[in-house]
Amino acid sequence: MANISRRQFGEILGMSLLASQLPKVAAANSATIVKPPRLQPGDTVGLISPASPVDREDVADAVAAMNQLGLKAKLGAHILDEYGYLAGSDANRAADVNTMFRDGTVKAIITMRGGWGCNRILPLLDYNLIRQNPKIIIGFSDITSLLLAIYARTGIVTFHGPVGISSWNSFSVNYFQRLLFAGESVTLRNPRTLRVQTITGGQTRGRLVGGNLSVIASMLGSDYLPDWGKTILFVEEIDEHIYSIDRLLTQLKIAGILDKIAGFIFAECTDCTAGEGDEPSLTLNQVLQDIIKPLGIPAWYGAAIGHIRDKFTVPLGVEAEIDAGLGTIRLLESAVM
């Protein structure tokens, strides 16, 4: 995630516990999965800033990127708002999400960036409205909160992929178009620059669920997470010390999540370091061997997901088959209607 260090999360984490005040809603399962309509050339997409702020140049670049994709852009009313490290007040950021789902002319929602703030607006979203108006919503990093909460509360397939300020390069655009326009059941294969490091070999099937590791950990104990049973969990992270990755994975372990999943992918840990100066540290590989290897499920490190230039568009809630030796993710169904 950008702007906010993971080491600052402890100071603001308690805000996500507001979620516990809401009535419980059944987690998404195979019977409740809802696929949003696919994109068509000429469609209008909504651009919103539900987390950290952006500037006018960021918005102009995102509009240009949408136009290159053959799409029209409609800006959220509060897209340029600023409130400290947030893109406006919680109420206004939530209002932009609700408004875009309500607006019948908007066919998909593109979030502008991550940072921090989506957990704060989860209690303010109108999930009945969202359920009645299924549409594509895409992003990554802090946007993980929205993707998981909407999927868990409504059953709508959401998408982990580029944000407005991403590099809309040929690799990223290829998967975006094949999944969201063509509705292909694609096989996600790394670019040649990313090497697969197998933790435990093998193949397995399950529903894809995941996102930013620290954001997922920050949502534990809330009512905004899906059923983890027989899922394939993918995670990614940025700018963390290895001991923090250890702590976060251990948190998922002792919460019982890792014992429920069928497969595991640690996508990329961008700019993750051993620690300060000469202090002793484990390697990331040692942490994965200690925590993930004993699960005995297909697992690997290294996938084009997260804080990197070339990234997949990954649907949450879609059935997939993974091969931990090859490092491939094969979608077994279309993610859109």
Closest alpha carbon to 188 in 208, 202, 168, 169: 208
Catalytic choice (218, 240, 307, 319): 307
Domains, the chain, in order of start with CATH, read 24-180 (3.40.50.10740), 187-331 (3.50.30.60)
For the question of residue 237 being annotated catalytic, the response is no
For the question of residue 268 being annotated catalytic, the response is no
Question: What angle in degrees, to the nearest 10, is found between the helix axes of 242-254 and 284-291?
Answer: 10
- pLDDT tens-digit map of 63-102: 999 999 999 999 999 999 999 999 999 999 999 999 999 9
Confidence at residue 32, expressed as pLDDT on a 0 to 100 scale: 82
3-state DSSP assignment of residue 98:
helix
Rounded Cα gap, residues 258 and 85, in angstroms: 32
pTM of the model: 0.91
Confidence at residue 16, expressed as pLDDT on a 0 to 100 scale: 41
Rounded Cα gap, residues 112 and 262, in angstroms: 32
Residues in the chain predicted with pLDDT less than 50, given as ranges, are 2-3, 5-27, 29-30
Rounded Cα gap, residues 114 and 195, in angstroms: 26
What is the DSSP-derived secondary structure letter of residue 105?
Answer: T
Helix (H) or strand (E) holding 131: helix 127-132
- pLDDT tens-digit map of 131-185: 999 999 999 999 999 999 999 999 999 999 999 999 999 999 999 999 999 999 9
Confidence at residue 2, expressed as pLDDT on a 0 to 100 scale: 43
For the question of residue 241 being annotated catalytic, the response is no
Assess contact for 204 and 262: CB atoms under 8 A: yes
Catalytic choice (16, 236, 237, 240): 236
At residue 311, what are phi and psi to the nearest 5 degrees? -135, 145
Catalytic choice (16, 52, 141, 172): 141
What is the DSSP-derived secondary structure letter of residue 40?
Answer: -
Confidence at residue 17, expressed as pLDDT on a 0 to 100 scale: 39
